[in-house]
Structure 1
C-alpha cells in the first residue's frame, strides 16, 4: 500500500512537472510572440511617421472640402439666372439694372410674413426697358420658367420721361432649386 501511495505521489509529481514544463514553454512562446508583435508595431509606427505630412494634408483637404460645401451650399449662378430671366422676357426688352438679396452660408434668408407667399432663398429685383407697353400678366407668366421660381410681381410700370418706351421694375423670388450645387458632396 505504501509503495502504491509512493508510486501515486511520483506519478502526480511527474504529471505536475510535465504540466509545469508545458506552461513555462507556452509562456516563453507567448512572450516571444509579444516581443515580435511589439517590434512589428514599432516598425509600422516608424513607417507611418514617414507619411505624417501626407496624412496631415489629407485631413486638411477633407476639412477644406467640407468648408467649401458649407460655404457654397447657398451659391446661386446669378449669370445663368439672369440669362434665363432675359430669355423669358419679350424680344426687345433690355434689363437695365439688377438687385439681388439672397441667403448666405451663415444666415438663412428672411421669409415673408405673408402666409400665402412661398419659401424663398433669394429675391431678384430688376429694372427693364421696353419700347412698347408691356403686358405685365404675360411677363409674370413667362418668368415662371426661371429655375427656382417661387413667385413674381411687377412693382411698377412707367412711361419713360423722354417718351422712348416704358420702364418696368419687377421682383422674382427664388427657392432652393436655384442653388447651383457646384460644391455639393459627390455621390459615389
Structure 2
C-alpha cells in the first residue's frame, strides 16, 4: 500500500512538472530556433571575406601615389566551391581579385607583385596589362588569387 501511495505521488509530481514545462514551450522553441539560426549563419558566412580590409591591404602594399581605380571580385560561396585553375603549378584558391591601379610614373611591376604577398590569404599575383594613356598616366591590371586564409570567420562558433 505504501508503494502504491509513492507511485501515485510520483505520477502527480510528474504531471505537475509536465504542465510547468508546457508554460515554457515558446521559450524552448525560441532557443531551438536561435541555435538553428546561429548554425545557418556560420555556414552562410563560412566563405565570407572582409573585402574592405583586403582591398585596404592591397592599397597599403602599393607604392605611394598609386591609387586603385577599379576592382573585380570573384569568390566561392557557401554552396559552391571556387573553380580551380587547370594549371597544376597554380595554387589552390577561394577568390580572385582583379584590380586596376593608376600611377603617374612608370611602375615597377615586379616590386608590386612582391609587395602584395602580405595580403591575407595571398596565393599568387599576375600582371595582365600595363597601359599608358594620352595624359601619361599608367594603368596596371593585376590579378591576385586568395586562399582560405582570407576568410574572416566572423560567424565561426566561439570555442570554449
Offset of residue 164 of structure 1: 2.5
CA distance in 2 between partners of 1:137 and 1:31 (Å)? 89
What is the RMSD of the two structures over their aligned residues, measured on CA atoms? 0.8
SS of 1:126's partner is strand
TM-score of the superposed pair, with normalisation by structure 2:
0.98
> How many residues are treated as equivalent by the alignment?
160
Offset of residue 30 of structure 1: 2.2
Q: Pick from 134, 144, 148: which aligns with 1:172? A: 144
1:71 counterpart = 2:44: yes
Q: Which runs of 4+ in 1 moved over 6 A?
A: none
CA distance in 2 between partners of 1:157 and 1:43 (Å)? 79
1:114 counterpart = 2:95: no
Larger radius of gyration: 1
The structure with higher relative contact order (CA 8 Å, sep 6+) is 2
CA distance in 1 between partners of 2:71 and 2:85 (Å)? 21
User: After superposition, what is the alpha-carbon deviation per residue over 1:66-123, rounded to whole angstroms, capped at 9, x for unaligned?
Assistant: 0000000000000000000000000100100000000001101011111111111000
SS of 1:111's partner is coil
Q: Pick from 14, 22, 26: which aligns with 1:49? A: 22
CA distance in 2 between partners of 1:186 and 1:42 (Å)? 38
SS of 1:169's partner is strand
Q: Greater helix share, 1 or 2?
A: 1
Offset of residue 29 of structure 1: 2.3
CA distance in 1 between partners of 2:7 and 2:93 (Å)? 64
TM-score of the superposed pair, with normalisation by structure 1:
0.83
CA distance in 2 between partners of 1:33 and 1:155 (Å)? 84
CA distance in 2 between partners of 1:146 and 1:29 (Å)? 77
Unaligned regions of 5+ residues in structure 2, if any?
none
Aligned residue number for residue 118 of structure 2: 145
Aligned residue number for residue 156 of structure 2: 184
CA distance in 1 between partners of 2:6 and 2:77 (Å)? 59
Unaligned regions of 5+ residues in structure 1, if any?
1-27
